[in-house]
Structure 1
Amino acid sequence: MASEFLSVAAFLSLFWGLLFSLNFFIKRSNLRTKYERFLAIFGITVALGHVKIFTTSLNRFFARCSKCCPRWQRKWFCVGAIFGLVAMVSSVVILILSLWNTFTIERDKKQQEPHQKLTMVVPGLNLPSSQIVYMVLALLLSAVLHEAGHAVCAIGEGVKLNGFGLFLMLVYPGAFVDLDTESLLNKQPVQQLRIYCAGVWHNFVILAITYMLMTYLPAILSPLYISGQGVMVRNVDPNSPLYSPVSFPVGTVVTDINRCPVTDSVSFWSCIHSVYSEDPNGFCVDLSVIEDTKRPEQMVKYADTTVPVECCSPDNTGDLCFHFDTPTWSMSAEELIFSPPEKRHKNNFRCLNARKVVENPECTDNRDCYLFYGEYSRCLLPSQANQSRLLRVSHSEGDELLYIGDMFVFSYALALGNFVPVLPMLPQTLPDMILNLLNYLSSFSAALALLNAVPCYTLDGQWIFSAMMEFIAIVFKIDPSDKESIKVVVLSFGTLLLVANVCVAFNNSILHLGG
Structure 2
Amino acid sequence: MVALWVIGSVVWLAVYLVFQTLDSFVQGRWSLWLRTHSIQVTKGCVIWSLKLAVPTLKTWCKIHRRVLRLFFQLGSIVGVMACCILMLGLVITGITMYLIFVSCVVTQSIFWRLDPWQLANKFPLISSFKKLLMEVTNALLFHLMKWLKLDPELPLTVSWLLCWVGLLVILPFHELGHAITAYVEGIGVEKVGLFLAFYIPGMFVTIEESLLDLNTKSRLRIVCAGFWFNLLLCLLSLVVVFLLPLLVAPFFRQQMTVSGFISTGQESSRLLNCFSIGDGLVSVNNREIRKLDDIKEVIRELTSETFVGICLNKNNITSSKWFRPFHMCCPGLSSDSWQVEESVWKCFVQSSFFNTGYPNAVCISEEWLETQEVALGFCEDKLVDDQYFVPYTGTGGRLVSLKRWIPSEQNYHQTVLVTSPDALLHSVKWTEYVPRISPWWLYKFLIVWNPIGKFEQFFRILFILSAFIGISNMAPVWRMDGEDVFSWLLTYFPLPMTHLEYLQKRKRWLGYFSFLFILSFVLFFILMDLNN
**TM range, normalised to the smaller chain?**
0.7 to 0.9
For 1:308 and 1:459, how far apart are their aligned partners in 2? Answer: 69
Displacement, 1:216?
Answer: 1.0
Deviation at 1:479, TM superposition (A): 4.8
**TM-superposition CA deviations, 1:36-61 (whole Å, max 9, x none):** 34311332223345222212155657
Kept in 1, the 8 Å contact 2:302–2:308? The answer is no
Indicate which of 247, 256, 261 corresponds to 1:236.
261
Q: CA deviation at 1:490?
A: 5.0
Change (3 A) 1:158 1:361: closer
Bigger fraction of residues in helix: 2
Amino acid at match of 1:232: T
1:353 aligned to 2:380?
no
Deviations 1:369-392 (CA, angstroms, capped at 9, x unpaired): 373300x22111100111233332
Decide whether aligned partners of structure 1 residues 26 and 184 sit closer, same or farther in structure 2, where only a CA change above 3 A counts.
Answer: same
Q: Paired residue for 1:419?
A: 433
Give SS of 2:399's match.
Answer: strand
CA shift, 1:167, in A, is 1.6
Counterpart of 2:479 in structure 1 is: 458
- What is the letter of the counterpart of residue 23 of structure 2? K
* Partner Cα separation in structure 2 for residue 477 and residue 93 of structure 1: 20
Task: State the shift of 1:460 in Å.
Answer: 0.7
Task: Please point out which of 270, 274, 282 is paired with 2:309.
Answer: 282
The alignment status of 1:106 with 2:116, answered yes or no, reads no
SS in 1 for 2:413: coil
How many angstroms does 1:284 deviate by? 0.8
Residue in structure 1 matched with residue 233 of structure 2 by the alignment: 206
1:286 and 1:155 map into 2 onto residues whose CA distance is 83
Task: Decide which moves more: 497-506 or 301-310.
Answer: 301-310
**TM-score of the pair, normalised by structure 1:** 0.79
* Paired amino acid for 1:116: L
**CA 294–433 in structure 1, closer or farther in 2 if over 3 Å, else same:** closer
Amino acid paired to 2:259: R
Query: What is the match of residue 496 of structure 1?
Result: 515
Residue 372 of structure 1: aligned partner: 382
CA contact (8 A) 1:142 1:445 kept: yes
Could you say which residue in structure 2 is the equivalent of 1:334? none
The 8 Å contact of residues 175 and 204 in structure 2, kept in 1 or not, is answered as yes
Contact 1:308/1:386 (<8 A) preserved:
no
* SS at 1:146 equivalent: helix
Unaligned runs of 5+ in 2: 101-110, 117-130, 145-151, 407-411
Q: Structure 2: how far apart are the matches of 1:163 and 1:438?
A: 29
Give, in whole Å, the separation in 1 of the partners of 2:376 and 2:336. Answer: 20
Instruction: Pick from 171, 174, 178 the counterpart of residue 206 of structure 2.
Output: 178
Change (3 A) 1:364 1:445: closer
Q: Amino acid of the residue matched to residue 20 of structure 1?
A: Y
1:16 and 2:15 are equivalent in the alignment = no
Deviations 1:140-170 (A, max 9, x none): 2212211111122123323332211112222
The 1-side partners of 2:333 and 2:498 are apart by 76
1:444 aligns with 2:465: yes
Structure 1: how far apart are the matches of 2:335 and 2:45? 57
Counterparts of 2:277 and 2:153, CA distance in 1: 29
* Matches for 1:201-350 after TM superposition, within 5 Å: 201-227=228-254, 230-237=255-262, 240-241=268-269, 244=272, 248-292=275-319, 298-300=325-327, 313-317=340-344, 319-324=345-350, 342=355, 344-350=356-362
Letter in 2 for 1:400: Q
Distance 1:442 1:364, change over 3 A: closer
Match of 1:336 in 2: none
Residue 431 of structure 1 is matched in structure 2 by 452
The aligned counterpart of 1:146 is 174
SS at structure 2 position matched to 1:437: helix
CA contact (8 A) 1:312 1:351 kept: no
| Partner of residue 338, structure 1 | none
Distance 2:7 2:506 in 1: 43
In structure 1, give the amino acid aligned to 2:382.
Answer: F
Residues 205-225 of structure 1, C-alpha deviation per residue, up to 9 Å, x if partnerless? 111111111111111111111
Rounded Cα–Cα distance in structure 2 between residues aligned with 1:454 and 1:95:
9
Cα offsets for 1:59-95 (capped at 9, x unmatched): 6575355345222221221111111112212333455
- What is the distance in 1 between the residues matched to 2:469 and 2:476? 13
Letter in 1 for 2:73: C
Question: 2:230, 2:460 → 1: CA distance?
Answer: 14
AA aligned to 1:55 is: L
1:304–1:347 CA contact under 8 A, matched in 2: no
Q: CA deviation at 1:355?
A: 5.1
Q: Cα–Cα, structure 1 residues 316 and 5, in superposed 2: closer, same or farther, change >3 Å?
A: farther
Q: Give the whole-Å Cα distance in 2 for the aligned partners of 1:232 and 1:379.
A: 32
Q: Cα deviations across residues 264-307 of structure 1 (Å, max 9, x unaligned)?
A: 12222222232223432111101122113799973239999799
Provide Cα deviations, 1:414-469, integer angstroms capped at 9, x if missing partner: 22222121122474422112111111111011101211112223211110122344
How far, CA to CA, are the matches of 1:483 and 1:467 in structure 2?
11
**TM-score scaled by structure 2?**
0.77
For residues 192 and 376 of structure 2, the distance between their equivalents in structure 1, rounded to whole angstroms, comes to 68
Specify the alignment match of 1:333 in structure 2.
none
The answer on whether the counterparts of 1:301 and 1:349 sit within 8 Å (CA) in structure 2 is no
Q: Which moved more, 1:423-432 or 1:141-150?
A: 423-432
Quick one: which amino acid aligns to residue 389 of structure 1? R
| Aligned partners of 1:306 and 1:385 also within 8 Å | no
CA distance in structure 1 between the partners assigned to 2:28 and 2:335 by the alignment: 73
Change in 2 beyond 3 A, CA 1:487/1:31 = closer
1:385 equivalent to 2:394? Answer yes
Residue 140 of structure 1 aligns with an amino acid whose one-letter code is: L
Q: For 2:461 and 2:434, how far apart are their aligned partners in 1?
A: 22
SS of equivalent to 1:456: coil
- Which one-letter code corresponds to 2:75 in the other structure? G
- Root-mean-square deviation (CA), in Å? 4.0
In 1, the alpha carbon distance for the partners of 2:35 and 2:335 equals 72
Q: CA deviation at 1:247?
A: 5.2
- For each residue in 1:333-355, what CA deviation from the matched residue of structure 2 results, as whole angstroms up to 9, or x when unmatched? xxxxxxxx75x443132211235
Give me the whole-angstrom Cα distance separating, in 1, the residues matched to 2:274 and 2:52: 58
Distance across 1 between alignment mates of 2:318 and 2:153:
54
Q: Which residue identity lines up with residue 212 of structure 1 in the other structure?
A: V
Query: What SS does structure 1 have at the residue aligned with 2:34?
Result: helix
Matches for 1:45-64 after TM superposition, within 5 Å: 45-57=40-52, 63-64=58-59
